[in-house]
Amino acid sequence: MMKQTMHKGTLQNGIRVMTIPMPRVETVTVYFFVCTGSHHEEKEMSGISHYLEHLFFKGSEKYKTPIEISSTLDGVGAAFNAFTSEEWTAFYVKLLKDKIEVALDVMGDFLKHPLFTDSEIEREKAVILEELNMYYDTPSRRVMDVLQEALYGDQPAGRDIGGIPETVKNITRENVVDYFQKQYRGENIIAVFAGNITHEASMELANQYFGGVSDGTAAIVKDPVQPPATHSPIVRIQEKTTDQTHIALGFPSYAMGDSRRYALRVLLTVLGGGMSSRLFHQVREQRGLCYAIGAGAEMGSDYGFSYIRSGIAKGKTEEAIEVIVRVMQDMKDEGITEQELANAKNNIEGHLYLGLEHTDGVAEFWGMQEVIVGTTQSPGEYIDALKSVSLQDTQEVANDVFLKGKTHIALVAAQHSDESLLGSLSQLE
């Protein structure tokens, strides 16, 4: 099995530099994490982290226009993109090892000398509004936003990462510059290098291109996520004409630093982690109620929730939820089998290492741990912890998480009755 070693250093301005050497590949991925996201935003500024992410490739002192930036990176065969999450904003460039300084020059110039021109800010506003419309028109994705509203209510954890049209329309250049100056500071930034590069080279290059980034800590510290205030199920429905009823069941679970996350991951893999999972077998194969169904978990620094998501045949919503609930209750009553436990562990291990064959997957694996919990596990350490999970561990997690009072329902569909949906949970204790 592959072994990975991570090296870590810090620049004088506080930027953390992580290097995972992969000498047998010809590429390097540079991932730049800024520890700020939607959970750091005031309600009236909802979406500003995502807005700033869009502006990253829109112009800097040296690369003044989007076409200059994209032409420079395209001209060396780079793959590049950016993402915004609840607790971080990330930018990455993946390219041949001997072209790395091209990427670093582009990234460093934005971090030190962004232009934030009025014209680009206004033009990108229209782009972001269309992105929001695209997500609103994608019910399989939108249902997860509705679920988080049900789980967390009127706090950052219950709001869309991209904001809403009303807040996005009101964001000004002054807002963007202020947020950038407060959050894009040295001690709030992590640079991850993964690929054919040494740590010594990473430190030298990071200092050369990022050493001029403003030092200091972030001015905005996120408020702790408040757990759901209710101990009764909540139903949240977004009415929309669709060919399926898109459902998501969600229940609070564990943060990324919680040791129970390994047992939870095993449990969710057995529940809805693939074509051999219990939900796939019962809901699709046995009854033909859906095409796709799965279970998973979202984990942050101080919150976590698990979910089951599917697109259900019209008129079959309550039946499908009743089947899902029976499967969950069976896992509480009977537990999972030794074979399911072993298969789930092998499944998780296999998918982990498949993702770690590529430099971008490696950079993301290590960087996200540093961002969210501030400490890291190697792939081997993660798998060792996973393999230590027992049947009793999964049983305890099932009894803790699969509770009627903690299970909330989100729908994107035509009108439904809250009462009938809540009645579908009756078999869950």
Integer Cα distance of 315 and 376 in angstroms: 46
- Choosing from 53, 86, 124, 149, the catalytic residue is 53
Neighbour-count burial for 322-338, b at 16+ CB within 10 Å, e otherwise = bbbbebbbebbeebbee
- Residue closest to 207 by CA, chosen among 13, 74, 358, 28: 13
1 is written with which tokens? 């099995």
| Contact (Cβ atoms closer than 8 angstroms) between residue 272 and residue 279 | yes
Helices 118-136 + 173-183 axis angle, to 10: 90
Integer Cα distance of 324 and 331 in angstroms: 11
DSSP 60: B
Helices 100-112 + 66-74 axis angle, to 10: 160
Is position 53 annotated as part of the catalytic site? yes
SS (H, E, C) 329-361: HHHHHHCCCHHHHHHHHHHHHHHHHHHCCCHHH
Q: Which residue bears the tokens 């896992």?
A: 331
Q: How many CB atoms lie within 10 A of CB 350?
A: 10
Put the strands of the sheet holding 408-413 in their side by side order: 235-239, 408-413, 244-252, 304-313, 290-299
Residues tagged active-site? 53
